[in-house]
Amino acid sequence: MKKGLLIVAMMIGVTASAQDFNSKKGTAILPEAGDCSIGIGATSTLNYFGNLLNGSAANAAPSFGWQGATNVISGKYMKDANTAYRVNVRLGFGTTKTSVPDSGTTTTDTKVASHNVNLGAGIQKYRGKGRVRGFYGAEANIGLGGSKTTVDFTGGSSEDKAGSTFSFGVRGFLGAEYFFAPKMSLSGEFGWGLNLSSTGASESTTTIGGASTTVKGGKSSSFGFETDNAGGSINLNFYF
């Protein structure tokens, strides 16, 4: 109960001390031209403070989580007080190798290589003059992904190529952002736009004794023009 009263008092204190647009130390509450930001999912943070209020004994500490799609870093650059450029970036490349002994003199070697790339950019415009600011804008995103698994074993080898995936999306968005402390805010948004995705045919080749057999899989594609909820959660933003 004491913890709950303390948290409520802290929240009231933050709100009461932030009626103007500068902190007691003179720090601007709202982002300024030239500021950058990084956004994270706020779910773990909100759960943490919510559990403090209900006295949860197993209250996990807040953690950084992805704002939108997994492994995609999201950020903004403030061109001026009412305009921001948005970026989303994921550059993922990796190779894993394993060797398993078949007998005293031979091994099975497996190599898995993959790549996942997501790039997005957009513009965001703000409305309003208080701590609660509405925003709107548009952005585009592209994605590339694929993987290949190669296995060398006694007497032969195999190679499995997953079909390469290409995706493209363009959307408009509308949301709101609340600045509860200097250069810190909670935000959420909805969007409406076009999404295209295409995955090429997979290919599996097995070679034994010099003879090779190749089997191809099917292709797939999708198309959508619909409303969305980017990230599916409230976001926590830090400006600096």
Q: What is the pLDDT of residues 84-135, one digit of tens each?
A: 999 999 999 999 999 998 876 788 999 999 999 999 999 999 998 889 999 9
How sure is the predictor about 159, in pLDDT bands with cuts at 50, 70 and 90?
very high
At 214, which amino acid appears?
T
The pLDDT assigned to 52 comes to 62
**How would DSSP label each residue in the chain?**
-HHHHHHHHHHHHHHHTTSSSB-TT--BSS--TT-EEEEEE-HHHHHHHHHHHTT-SS-PPP----SSSTT-EEEEEEEETTEEEEEEEEEEEEEEEEEEESSSS-EEEEEEEEEEEEEEEEEEEEE-SSSEEEEEEEEEEEEEEEEEEEEEETTEEEEEEPPPEEEEEEEEEEEEEEEEETTEEEEEEEEEEEEEEEEPPPEEEEEETTEEEEEE---EEEEEEEEE-GGGS-EEEEE-
CA dihedral 10, 12, 16, 20 (to 10 degrees): 80
Q: 159 or 21, which is more confident?
A: 159
Residue pair 156/121 in contact (Cβ under 8 Å)? The answer is: no
Q: What are phi and psi of 231, to 5 degrees?
A: 85, -25
pTM beyond 0.75, yes or no: yes
Rg (CA), the chain: 25
The pLDDT assigned to 58 comes to 67
Domain definitions of the chain by residue range: 2-239
Strand partners of residue 170? 140, 194
C-alpha span between 177 and 136 (Å, rounded): 11
C-alpha span between 204 and 213 (Å, rounded): 8
Average pLDDT over residues 31-46: 84
The pLDDT assigned to 57 comes to 61
Residue pair 185/177 in contact (Cβ under 8 Å)? The answer is: yes
Q: What is the 3-state secondary structure (H, E, C) of 132-169?
A: EEEEEEEEEEEEEEEEEEEEEECCEEEEEECCCEEEEE
pLDDT tens digit string along 41-95?
866 666 666 666 666 566 676 666 777 777 889 999 999 999 999 999 999 999 9
